[in-house]
């Protein structure tokens, strides 16, 4: 069975178009891939594992803006510097693509330009969905929405391999770690999910969970 955290398990419609050779270094769990403010000379793709991107707020709190799974591209910037820091959440292999090479490809080929536009639009939509979630959803709705998002993006049916810890979930959802833990326990008590381990979640009643965030 293929792991949902490997690139060969993900549908990669953009890959044939953006097939530019690049280095593929390995990063250990919690190792930095690039830092906020560093030169954005490359675009990155998760080959295996998972990545978080975040900013540190003025008061020292961490706000995670996105999680990236196998096949996802990240680090595509409008300016010359990265706006966020990227770290491996698990041991991860990351493909590095020179930004200049992508620009040259897009200038030569219309399909590549369209692929980059689609990638940018998808990232923007995900950011807009995140803002809506933070502003309008209850704690329970936020946690359920994240579980369903992981299921969709890793192509899982019922049992989820959850690469992020409770603190990561809290920093993405704008909640405390205690609230995330209580909410997961409450969902388990209601028979909606099962928690075999800290990093495994079984969706016992996916339809009921989906109705909670519709």
Residue 75, Ramachandran bin (φ over 0: left; ψ between -120 and 50: alpha; else beta)? left
- Rounded to the nearest 10°, the torsion over CA 203, 205, 207, 210 is -50
| 120 and 146 fall within a common domain | no
Residue 175 lies in a domain: yes
CATH number for the domain spanning 42: value is 2.60.120.10
Q: Do 199 and 102 fall within a single domain?
A: no
Residues 82 and 155 in one domain: no
What tens-digit pLDDT sequence spans the chain (214 residues)? 334 454 444 434 455 556 666 678 999 999 999 999 999 999 999 999 999 999 999 999 999 999 999 989 999 888 899 999 999 999 999 999 888 888 888 888 888 788 878 888 888 888 888 888 888 899 999 999 999 999 999 889 889 999 999 999 999 999 999 999 999 999 999 999 999 998 999 999 999 999 999 8
Pair 31, 117 in one domain: yes
- Decide which of 134, 165, 200 is a domain's last residue: 134
Residue-level pLDDT at 171: 97
Q: Are the C-beta atoms of 161 and 155 separated by less than 8 Å?
A: no
**pLDDT of 100:** 84
Residues 112 and 42 in one domain: yes
Nearest CA to 67 out of 159, 137, 4 is that of: 4
Is the same domain home to 74 and 15? yes
Domain containing 90 equals 7-134
Inside any domain, residue 2: no
Cβ–Cβ under 8 Å, residues 7 and 70: yes
Residues 26 and 122 in one domain: yes
Tokens coding 164: 């992020």
Do 174 and 84 reside in the same domain of the chain? no
Distance CA 169, CA 144 (A): 11
86 and 22 housed in the same domain? yes
CATH number at 179 reads 1.10.10.10
CB neighbours of 168 closer than 8 A, spacing ≥ 6?
Answer: 52, 64, 67, 89
In a domain, 50, yes or no: yes
Asked whether the whole model's pTM tops 0.75, one would answer yes
Q: Are residues 30 and 113 in the same domain?
A: yes
- The total of structural domains in the chain comes to 2
Q: Is the same domain home to 70 and 123? A: yes
Q: Is residue 178 part of a domain?
A: yes
Strand 200-203, strand 32-34: pairing: unpaired
1: in domain? no
Residue 126 and residue 166 in one domain: no
Task: Please report whether residue 111 resides in a domain.
Answer: yes
112-140 in b/e burial notation, b at 16+ Cβ within 10 A? bbebbeebeeeeeeeeeebeebeeebebb
- Residue 118: the pLDDT is 83
Indicate the SS3 state at residue 129: helix
């Amino acid at each position: 069975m293929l792991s949902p955290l490997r690139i060969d398990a993900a549908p990669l419609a953009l890959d044939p178009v953006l097939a530019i050779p690049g280095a593929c270094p390995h990063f250990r769990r919690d190792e930095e891939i690039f830092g906020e403010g560093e030169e954005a000379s490359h675009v990155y793709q998760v080959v295996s594992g998972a990545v978080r991107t975040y900013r540190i707020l003025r008061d020292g709190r961490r706000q995670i803006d996105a999680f990236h799974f196998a096949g996802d591209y990240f680090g595509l910037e409008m300016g010359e510097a990265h706006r966020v820091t990227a770290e491996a959440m698990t041991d991860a292999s990351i493909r590095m693509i020179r930004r200049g090479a992508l620009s040259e490809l897009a200038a030569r080929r219309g399909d590549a330009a369209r692929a980059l536009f689609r990638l940018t639009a998808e990232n923007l939509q995900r950011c807009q969905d995140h803002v809506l979630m933070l502003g309008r959803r209850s704690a329970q709705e936020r946690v359920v929405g994240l579980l369903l998002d992981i299921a969709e993006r890793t192509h899982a049916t019922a049992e989820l391999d959850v690469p992020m810890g409770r603190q990561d979930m809290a920093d993405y959802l704008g909640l405390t770690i205690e609230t995330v833990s209580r909410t997961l326990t409450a969902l388990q008590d209601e028979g909606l999910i099962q928690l075999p381990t800290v990093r495994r979640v079984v969706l016992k009643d996916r339809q009921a969970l989906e109705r909670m965030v519709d």
